[in-house]
Amino acid sequence: MADSNFDLIVVGGGPGGYVAAIRAAQLKMKVALVEDQHLGGICLNWGCIPTKALLRSAEIYRQMNHAKDYGLSAEGVGFDLDAIVKRSRKVSKKLNLGVGHLLKKNKVTVFDGFGKLAGKGKVAVAKDGQAVATLSAKNIILATGARARVLPGMEPDSKLIWYYKEALVADLVPERLLVIGSGAIGIEFASFFHTLGSKTTVVEMLDRIVPVEDADVSSFLEKSLTKDGMEIITSAGVKSLKKGKTTVTATLEVGGKTETREYDRVIVAAGIVGNVENIGLEGTKVKVDRTHVVTNEWCETAEPGVYAIGDLAGAPWLAHKASHEGILCVEKMAGLKGLHPMNTLQIPGCTYCHPQVASVGLTEAKAKEQGQKVRVGNFPFQANGKAIALGEAEGFVKTVFDAATGELLGAHMVGAEVTELIQGYTVAMGLETTEAELMHTVFPHPTLSEMMHESVLDAYDRAVHF
């Protein structure tokens, strides 16, 4: 064992942890980062990045099957699932190595092991049950992330029942696929396998899919997926899964009635739980609420000198939120001036199904619940020249404004490349932009972004092209 003194110890090397470590190093802190599995965390290795690689393959496959619509010919179009998965893993590996390079470049000391609080200002590091080091620092950031919520009786077995890790390295495209949960993870996997040929059923316990999104987006997406052949069952639950030799029999509860169905594979996407176990929270003032560490707007826990960021610290469960928190709390502990506390309403969310979904801020319903009078704009993809030229005339852009002040309260999109477009509205919200500035902003033509402009205009009865 070795005792080492640092200015900051970061426990966890995911998108929150490694970014926090790098920013601290830039601010001339002596930094240690402890990671026991893989740099880049779940997002880079088993989440955001590899799923996007899979979905890109599915997107190209979809386009190839519609080559005729573009005046092109493509015969005998097929796919190699093993090659698709290998490409996805290769992308993740490349970025994993890149994170390691960045940490080395910034002189962050990386400890390969499991980190655990071991008294005030101390972290014990162990690997395979063997002590590696005891580290000391004035400040400690917990960035241990989260894992999939495992439902009793529906545990993953790498064969018939999959969670996200098993789905990412699938050995086949199931003929009949059941997806439990319609959040971003469930819908993305449903979209991927459905595009490759699975007869896909999505079961959601709430009354609409992607339930965190604006109701109009949920409705549109459900109609689009259903039109494409996917089965969507809302206000329903899966009571049990019974595994056979090669299939799974699911007992569904729909409308107060139960029915059994047979599937070749099941993907469970029922949320996440924070990794709060065995990290030394006992004996500290750190508070845990429903498996997530409680923090204030500066990512501080109730224990002096201990911070928590990312999925460990609560919703929204997004990599970019974790990275922003990492930078925020490091700059706060460094005493930088002019900082703004975390505002989760200004964090955009993206779902990379087909069509894509993206949003930021309040939904129309949420704004009204808060008693605000709103003006709402809506502009369809089918009225946009670039969307028509792309052959992607499906979707819309919706904007929600405060009727009294013109403040942009929220923006909600569904359609091609909206995950790239949403940042325009995110910047606008950060700058406290009103409808007046957005109306007078010149958007390039022909682009999909013109719909963002037209949606603003529509909120004030000034839309030109619809």
- Burial label for 102, CB within 10 Å (0-12, 13-18, 19+), is middle
Q: Beta strand 349-351 with 357-361: parallel, antiparallel or unpaired?
A: antiparallel
| Token duo for residue 218 | 């949920």
- Burial label for 398, CB within 10 Å (0-12, 13-18, 19+), is buried
How far does CA 422 lie from the centroid of its chain? 14
Which DSSP state fits 267? Answer: E
DSSP secondary structure of 53-96:
HHHHHHHHHHHHTTGGGGT----S----HHHHHHHHHHHHHHHH
Catalytic residue among 66, 445, 453, 465: 445
Q: Is residue 39 a contact partner of residue 18, using CB atoms and an 8 Å limit? A: yes
Q: Is residue 329 a contact partner of residue 298, using CB atoms and an 8 Å limit? A: yes
Contacts 24+ apart (CB under 8 A), 117-126: 117/142, 117/279, 117/280, 117/281, 117/284, 117/306, 118/280, 120/305, 121/305, 123/9, 123/11, 123/32, 123/34, 123/280, 124/280, 125/34
Q: Is residue 323 a contact partner of residue 330, using CB atoms and an 8 Å limit? A: no
Encoded amino acid at 51, one letter = T
**Catalytic-residue membership of 320:** no
Cis-peptide into 355, omega within 30 deg: yes
- Residues known to be catalytic: 445
